[in-house]
Structure 1
Amino acid sequence: MLKADELKEEAARAALDLVEDGMRLGLGSGSTAARFVAALGERVAAGLRVICVPTSEATRLQAEKLGIPLSTLDETPELNLTVDGADEIDAELRLIKGGGGALLREKIVATASDRMVVIADESKLVKTLGAFPLPVEVVRFGLLATMRLVEAIAVEAGCHGEIRLRPGVGQAPFVTDQGNLILDCAFGAILEPEVLAFALKRVPGVVEHGLFLGLADLAIVAGSGGIKLLRRPGA
């Protein structure tokens, strides 16, 4: 049986088949996306011409070391394809993302793309989103008030569970590339993701949440039986 790392590698390399010369690409963040960036770097070294927008500083540094041409959304506001990972994927290709803390940039880049393709190993497939704690990016000001309001709003949306500030190094909290904080919401099950997503957007201190709804067009999932392609209904 293949290990998780090997499955991630398979999914990442399968996504390379979607990349064409001259494309404008969004580069995701996280361990699976990093494998795609590494494989893309090999293709670039062999002559593939692309221009890429990274979704995190970590991805930017990796791509720079590999000699992958980079841009920004200000310079390249329309992308052909974004390839990114996910923490959870359901049958409708609704996602939870943000385990690495890059959800805000990931969502901006995905929204600027004609297509978003998710690469993952089969362990990320779930019947119901929420076993993975939902990341919610918040500003520092009024943190406790924001946490309380997020909890109240979540309860109204049918979600219950511990909401905690993501820890960083030492006693300090985790800080995103945008200088914000992350709340990890252990709801266990999110039965109505669209309802929760709408509710969270009503909280003034919330910058973004990790529910990616209607964004992913295709999931490339590697498992013990090989590569499986999952398409979003209606995509």
Structure 2
Amino acid sequence: MSAELSPAEKGKFISARRAVDYVQDGMKLGLGTGSTAAWMVKCLARRVQQEGLQISCAATSTRTAELAKSLGLDVRALDDLGWLDLTIDGADEFDPELSLIKGGGAALLQEKIVASASDQMIVITDPAKEVASLGAFPLPVEVIPFGAMTTKALIEQMLTEMDVAGREVTLRMAGDKALRTDENNLILDLHLQKIGNARELSLMLNQIPGVVENGLFIDICDIVVIGDGAGKVTVKDISDGSSHTEAVTVTAADYSFADPKQ
């Protein structure tokens, strides 16, 4: 691909390429899902091809697994790999404590399992995803199909006692049918606008029968890499509270592979 990227896509590419620098030979990696993660998979495959890295990967969705395999990466089941060294994934929102909302791509369950089974999680994102308080992005909750509307009603009732600014709950659709996850579950999107206590909300949601998992990632992310289409990348590390920005030069040759699949 030689066409110029939009600023948004350039930012995604910059963050993905920078995050791949953390990968070392012999690592077992978790591969995230979404448009930014797709750039990461392509950048990772290029490093493997150019440097001969020996790595193995667990994917967080069927579409990520298919993309990674098509690029020659060694993709295995998470149970076959055991504990992972590093997971690199995107996010829909992140706050100053590097708490996240994830699940815009309906892969939050596998994403949370893989990230929780890793020594370190790096999130790749863009400046628009940084917020002072989580909640502007609808919070996804994965629920089993049986009694899904009852589960929805229980969530709505629970939200009346939570510190949130909105309480609308909608069933995520794919065309005229309810969207199904890789595990054949459903997604409820919670339009909360602002979450006062994300930790409490996460715990309360997961106590409701029918809820499989929610899209709040608390105390899981270690580093956020923020790519800016203007030509810079910022790295925030929760372990030492550091934040530094680097200038980045990107040419068409750097992203000359095919467009990432969503």
User: TM-score higher than 0.5 here?
Assistant: yes
Q: Deviations over 1:74-133 (max 9, x none)?
A: 111100000000000100000000000000000000000000000001111001100000
SS at match of 2:57: strand
- 1:87 has 2:62 as partner: no
SS at match of 2:105: coil
In 2, are the aligned partners of 1:157 and 1:199 still within 8 Å (CA)? no
| C-alpha deviation, 1:232, in angstroms | 2.0
Name the CA distance, whole Å, in 1 between partners of 2:184 and 2:12.
29
Aligned to 1:72: 77
In 2, are the aligned partners of 1:87 and 1:124 still within 8 Å (CA)? yes
| C-alpha deviation, 1:71, in angstroms | 1.1
Name the CA distance, whole Å, in 1 between partners of 2:189 and 2:154.
14
Name the CA distance, whole Å, in 1 between partners of 2:220 and 2:170.
27
Name the CA distance, whole Å, in 1 between partners of 2:122 and 2:224.
6
Q: 2:172 aligns with which of 166, 191, 195?
A: 166
SS at match of 2:173: coil
Name the CA distance, whole Å, in 2 between partners of 1:146 and 1:116.
31
| C-alpha deviation, 1:155, in angstroms | 2.0
| C-alpha deviation, 1:31, in angstroms | 0.4
Q: Deviations over 1:157-203 (max 9, x none)?
A: 2223210000013x211000000000011100001101100110110
1:104-115 correspondence to structure 2 within 5 Å: 104-115=109-120
Q: Deviations over 1:207-226 (max 9, x none)?
A: 00000000000000112461
Aligned to 2:181: 176
* Gaps in structure 1 of 5+ consecutive residues: none
Q: Deviations over 1:23-77 (max 9, x none)?
A: 0000000000000001111112221111000000000000010010011111111
Aligned to 1:6: 10
AA paired with 1:126? V
Name the CA distance, whole Å, in 2 between partners of 1:210 and 1:125.
16
SS at match of 1:105: helix
Name the CA distance, whole Å, in 1 between partners of 2:6 and 2:126.
10
* Gaps in structure 2 of 5+ consecutive residues: 242-262
In 1, are the aligned partners of 2:159 and 2:167 still within 8 Å (CA)? no
| C-alpha deviation, 1:230, in angstroms | 1.1
Aligned to 1:37: 41
- 1:98 has 2:117 as partner: no
Q: 2:67 aligns with which of 62, 65, 79?
A: 62
* TM-score, normalization by structure 1: 0.96
AA paired with 1:108? I
Aligned to 2:258: none
Aligned to 1:228: 234
Name the CA distance, whole Å, in 2 between partners of 1:113 and 1:155.
35
Give the share of equivalent positions with the same residue, in percent: 46
Q: 2:137 aligns with which of 125, 129, 132?
A: 132
Aligned to 2:30: 26
CA RMSD of aligned residues (A): 1.4
In 1, are the aligned partners of 2:29 and 2:57 still within 8 Å (CA)? yes
Moved more, 220-229 or 122-131: 220-229
SS at match of 2:135: coil
Count matched residues: 234
